[in-house]
Amino acid sequence: MFFGFSDEEKMLRRSVRDMFKSRNTPEHVRAFIENPAIPKEMQKLLASQGLLGIIDMEGSGEDGKGLMNAILVAQEAGRHLLTYPLVEAMAGLAALKTCRQQTRLAEEIEAGKKVLTVAWVNVDAKAKKSEDGYVLDGTLREVPFANEADVILANVRVGGKGFTPEEEETLVVIDTKSPGIAIRNSNSMDETYPLYEISLLNYPLKAEQVVKGFGMGKGRTLMDKMKQIGALLISAELVGCSERALYETVEYTKQRKQFGVLIGSFQAVKHLAADMYLKVESGKAAVEYAAWAADTENEEAELAISIAKSYTSEAGIQVCGDAIQMHGGIGFTWENDMHLYFKRARRSAAVLGDVYSHREKIAKAAIDEGISVQDKYSKRTESVPV
Amino acid sequence: MDLSFSKEQEEYRQHVREWLTNNIPQGWGTPEFNWPDDEAERGKILREWDRKLYEGGFAGISWPKQYGGQGLSHVEEIIYDEEAGKLNAPSGVNVLGKLLLGPTLLLFGTEEQKQRFLPPLLRGDEVWCQGFSEPNAGSDLAAIQTRAELEGDKWVINGQKVWTSFAHHADWCFVLARTDHELPKHKGITFFLVPMNTEGIIVRPLVQINGNRDFNEVFFDNAYIPKENVVGGINNGWKVAMGTLGFERGTLALGRQVRFQNEFNTLARISSSLKKSEESYYRQKMAELFAEIRILRYHGLKTISQLLNEGKLGPEASLQKLFWSTMHVNMGKLGHEILGEQGPYIGKESIGRGILQEIDLGSRGATIYAGTTQIQKNIIAERVLGMPK
C-alpha cells in the first residue's frame, strides 16, 4: 500500500520542471502571444526527451499505460503555460500507435519532425464517396494549435460503415497542407493555447489516412479513449497551472505591505490561501488516483477521471481567480501574469467535458447505478425506511 | 503507486469482517436499535463493546504485545478501521484513551506508566477522558489557567475544564495544568494523569445541539493526585500535548471516509424516494458531494502512506481535517435541500427518521473540535505555505 511517487517518477518531474522553467519562461509565453508560432527548439526538446509518446494504450507493464508519467509531465506543462499541444500529442500518439499503418507517421511525430493536434469536436464533418475514394466536408472545432500543426486527428462519419451514426465514426489523419482545408482562429481567450476551427470542403481522404480501419465502432472507441486520456491530462494541467498561481500569489503576500505590515500576515489573506491550497492538493490527489486507476485498468477508472476533471475544472478557476484577487489592482492588469493562468484555467475547464457534463457522469454512477455503487463502496447498507 | 494490500493483509481483512459481522450488537446503527435513555446505561453498552473488542484481539492493534496490544502494524489498524466503518460498528467509549492517551504514553511515558496504564485501557477496565480545553482556552490552548501545585508528595489541582467528552463515563482524565506562572505560557504547562474518583472533582453534563450528552464540564477543587502522575516531565506538557494532538489528525482517515460513503448512500436513497434524484440541480450537487467523498479517500491513502513511510504526520494533515469537516457540513446542507419543506421534522415518523438532520447538526461540531476550521487554515498558511505570523 503506497500512494505516492517512485524515485524515477520524482526524477522525471524534476527534470521536466527544470526544462520548462528555463525553456518556457514567462518571456517565451509572452512572445508566443505576440507571434503564435511554436518554437522549433521546444519541439525538438520535447522529442529528444522522449516526452511525446509516453502513453501506450495497450501497456500492462510496470508503468501501466504510462499515464502516471504523463500526468507528471502535463502538470509541469500547466505550471509553465507550455505553448505546445502536448495533451493532443500525447493522446493522439497513443491512438496512432495502436495502428500499424500509421507507424511511420507516429515515428515522425515522436521524433519532433511533425506537429500533431486533435480536433476534439466534430460539428458535422463527414465523408462522401468520390470517384477514387472519399472526400470530407464539414466543420471541426476545438483544434488547438491547428495553424502550427502538420497533421490533425479527427473523427468523421463515413456513411455505410456501421449500423449507427456512432459506429460509422472513423478516425482519420488530416494533412493541414492539403487542398480543401481552411483554418480559422476561434479567438479563444487563452492565448497561450490557441484554438482553431477547421472547414473541410472536398478534402480528398486517402485510405492510408485512416486509423484502425473504417467505422464499425472503431473510430468511436479510439476517440473515446483519446478523450479520456485528454480529460485526465488536462486535469493535470489545471493542477499545475493553479498550483503555480497559488505559490506566486503566496510569494507576493510575503513582499507586499499595507497598513505597515506584510499582507500575508492578515488572517483574511491566509485563510484564502489555505482554501486555495486545499483545492490544489485535492485536485492533485484526484488526478493521481485517476492516473493509477487508468494505468491499472481499475473498474473505477472512468469515474475517477470524471471526478478529477470536474473537481480540477471548478477548483482551477476558483484558485486562479482568487490569485487575481490577492494581487489587488496589479492582478487585474495585462502586464501581470495572473490573467494568463486564469484564462488557461477557463479554457481547460471548458474543453474535454465541462464540470456539468462530468458531474452528470458521476451522478449516473453514484445515484442511478446506486445499488452497485453501494456494493462496491460499502459492504452493508442500513435499512432506512423513507 | 501501489494501492493493493498483500495476501496476508487481505486475509486479516476477511478475519476482521467475519468477527465484526458476528459480534456487532443486534440492530446497531439502525433506528431499530434499542438505545436506552439513561446515560449510565448507554455508557455500559459502549464499555461492553470495548471489552468485546479486546477479547476479539482488536484493541491496540498496532501497540506492542507487552502492553496488551496486538503487536501488528498500522496497516492492520487501518484495515480494522475501514471494515468497522463499512459495517458502521460502534467505536466504544474509550476513543480518547485509544486514540490520544495510548500513543502519547507509548511516546512520552515511563516504562512503569506504560505497564500500569496501557493494559487496563485496552481491556476496557479504565476509560479515559481528555482535560485540555477551558472556558478561556479553546483555540488558544496554551492560555490554560487550571493550575497544579506541589504539596509534599501530592499535586493539588484547581481549575475548570470544558467540552470534556465521556468524562461522565471515565475512570481517568489526562489533564493539562499550569505548573509555573513565571515561564512563558507554552513553557509552564505539565501533562497529568488524574483519577476521576479523586475527591474535589465534579462532572457536570452539557447537552449538545443534537441532544447528545457526550460532553461535560469538569471542576477541580483542591483535587490531590500522586506526585508521580506526570507524563514527559514537569513544564514539558506543551510538547507532550502537541504530540497528542498530532494523533488526532489524519490517522482515522479511511474508516471515517467509509462512514461518509454510507451516509451518502442513505442520502441518495432518500433523494430517490423523494424523486429529487431525477432533477438536474440535485444530481449535480450530489455528484459534487460524491466526488469530494472519493477525494477524501485519496487524501486518506496519501496520509496513511506518509504515516507508514515516515512514521509521523506533518502539518499537511491539517488539510484532511479541513477537507472532511467542511465536506460534512455541505452534506448536511444538501440533505436539507433534498428534504425541502420536510426538513424541520425529526423523530421516528419523519423521513429517514431524521438521519439527514442528524448529519446536518452533528457536522457543526466537527468544524470546531480538534482545531477549528480557522485554526487549521492558520496552520496551513503559516506552517505549510510559510506565510508570516
Please tell me which residue of chain A has the smallest CA distance to B290: A366
Report CB contact under 8 Å: A1, B75: yes
Q: What is the DSSP string of A297-340?
A: T-TTHHHHHHHHHHHHHHHHHHHHHHHHHHHGGGGGSSSSTHHH
Which residues in chain A are closer than 8 Å to B287, comparing Cβ atoms?
A: 310, 359-363, 366-367
pLDDT of residue A385: 38
**Phi, then psi, of A154 in degrees rounded to 5:** -145, 155
Same domain, A203 and A63: no
Residue after which a domain boundary falls, among A196, A219, A242: A219
Q: Which of B28, B290, B296, B323 to mutate to test the interface with A (most CBs of A within 10 A)?
A: B290
pLDDT beyond 60 at A33: yes
Nearest C-alpha in B relative to A8: B1
Contact at CB, B286 and A379, closer than 8 angstroms: no
* Domain contains A264: yes
Q: In the prediction, which pLDDT does B35 show?
A: 82
| pLDDT given for residue B17 in this prediction | 96
Q: Which of A56, A289, A301, A12 is nearest to B3 (CA)?
A: A289
* pLDDT for B250: 53
Which CATH number does the domain housing residue A336 bear? 1.20.140.10
- Helices A86-96 + A67-79 axis angle, to 10: 160
- For residue A1, being part of any structural domain is answered with no
Instruction: Quote the cell numbers at residue A285.
Output: 490527489
Which chain A residue's Cα is nearest to B283?
A363
- Check if the beta carbon of residue A115 is closer than 8 Å to that of residue A103: no
Task: Give the integer Cα–Cα distance in Å for B16 and B83.
Answer: 7
User: Across the interface, do A311 and B5 touch by the CB < 8 Å criterion?
Assistant: no
In a domain, residue A382? The reply is no
CATH no., domain B128-235: 2.40.110.10
Asked if B265 lies within 8 A of A378 by C-beta distance, the reply is: yes
Q: Measure the CA–CA gap between A45 and A68, rounded to whole angstroms.
A: 21
Does A356 lie in the same domain as A252?
yes
Q: What is the mean pLDDT of chain A?
A: 94
pLDDT score recorded for residue B37: 84
Both A157 and A183 in one domain: the answer is: yes
What pLDDT does B183 receive? 96
Q: For residue A174, what are the β-bridge partners? A: A152
> CA-CA distance, A297 to A282, in Å (whole number)?
22
User: Both A123 and A212 in a single domain?
Assistant: yes
On the question of a common fold for B128-235 and B249-384, the answer reads no
CB B194 within 8 A of CB B172: yes
**Mean pLDDT, residues B377-388:** 97
pLDDT in tens, A34-72: 999 999 999 999 999 999 999 999 988 888 899 999 999
- Please identify, among A114, A131, A149, the residue that sits at the C-terminal boundary of a domain: A114
Find the mean pLDDT for residues B257-264. 94
The region of weakest confidence among A106-120, A206-220, B176-190, B296-310 is B296-310
CATH topology of domain B7-93: Butyryl-Coa Dehydrogenase, subunit A; domain 1 (1.10.540)
With pLDDT > 70 as the criterion, what percentage of chain A qualifies? 96
> Residue A42 in contact with residue A84, Cβ under 8 Å?
yes
Q: For residues A263 and A370, is the Cβ–Cβ distance under 8 A?
A: no
ipTM, two decimals:
0.94
8 A C-beta contact, residue B126 and residue B120 = yes
> Which CATH number covers residue A166?
2.40.110.10
Q: Residue A2: inside a domain, yes or no?
A: no
Band of residue A176 on the pLDDT scale cut at 50, 70, 90: very high
Q: Is residue B117's pLDDT more than 60? A: yes
Which among B9, B376, B388 has the least Cβ separation from residue A265? B388
CATH superfamily of B249-384: Butyryl-CoA Dehydrogenase, subunit A, domain 3 (1.20.140.10)
Q: Which residues pair with B130 in a beta bridge?
A: B174
CB-facing half-sphere around the CA of B113: CA atoms within 13 A: 22
For residue A385, being part of any structural domain is answered with: no
pLDDT at residue B236, rounded to an integer? 97
CA distance A269 to chain B (A): 9
Q: Are both A156 and A266 inside the same structural domain? A: no
Question: Are A53 and A31 found together in one domain?
Answer: yes
Q: How many CB pairs under 8 A join A and B?
A: 192
Contact B269 A4 (CB under 8 A): no
Same domain, A157 and A196: yes
Looking at the fold, whether A89 and A144 belong to one and the same domain comes out as no
CA B91 to chain centre: 9
Same domain flag for A107 and A123: no
* Contact between A311 and B291 using a beta-carbon 8 Å cutoff: yes
A chain contacts of residue B286, beta-carbon cutoff 8 Å: 363, 366-367
One-letter amino acid for residue A351 of the chain:
V
Q: What pTM was estimated for this model as a whole?
A: 0.95
* Mean pLDDT score, B13-24: 96
Q: Is the pLDDT of residue B343 over 50?
A: yes
Contacts of B376 in chain A (CB under 8 A): 274
Work out the minimum CA distance from B305 to partner chain A, whole angstroms. Answer: 5
pLDDT, residue A376, reads 45
Residues A91 and A127 placed together within one structural domain of the fold = no
Query: Does A305 lie in the same domain as A161?
Result: no
* Residues A373, A228 share a domain: yes
Q: A88, A223, A204, A206: which is closest to A146 by C-alpha?
A: A88
Distance CA B305, CA A253 (A): 32
* pLDDT for the residue numbered A174: 98
pLDDT tens digit sequence for A78-128: 999 999 999 999 999 999 999 999 999 999 999 999 999 999 999 999 999
A386 domain residue, yes or no: no
Domain count, chain A: 3
pLDDT of the residue at A370: 64
Tell me the chain A residues in contact with residue B380 when contact means C-beta distances shorter than 8 Å. 273-274, 277-278
CB distance A135 to A127 below 8 Å: yes
Segment A342-382, tens digit of pLDDT: 999 999 999 999 999 999 999 999 988 764 444 444 443 44
Is pLDDT at B170 greater than 50 in this prediction?
Answer: yes
DSSP state of A283: H
| DSSP class of A116 | E
Quickly count: other Cβ atoms within 10 Å of residue A115's Cβ: 21
CA distance A169 to A164: 9
Residue-level pLDDT at A369:
79
- The last residue of one of the domains, among A219, A235, A261, is A219
pLDDT tens across B61-93, in order? 999 999 999 999 888 998 999 999 999 899 899
Domain residue ranges of chain B, discontinuous segments joined by +: 7-93, 128-235, 249-384
String of DSSP letters for B103-131: HHHHHH--HHHHHHHHHHHHHTSS-EEEE
Average pLDDT along chain B: 93
Structural domain of A47:
7-114
Q: Give residue-wise pLDDT tens across range A326-337.
A: 999 999 999 999
At CA B356, angle to CA B354 and CA B360, rounded to 5?
A: 115
Give the total residue count for chain A. Answer: 386
pLDDT of B307 reads 81
| Residue B387 pLDDT greater than 60, yes or no | yes
> Which pLDDT belongs to residue A382?
40
Question: With contacts defined as CB-CB under 8 Å, which chain B residues touch A367?
Answer: 268, 271-272, 277, 283, 286-287
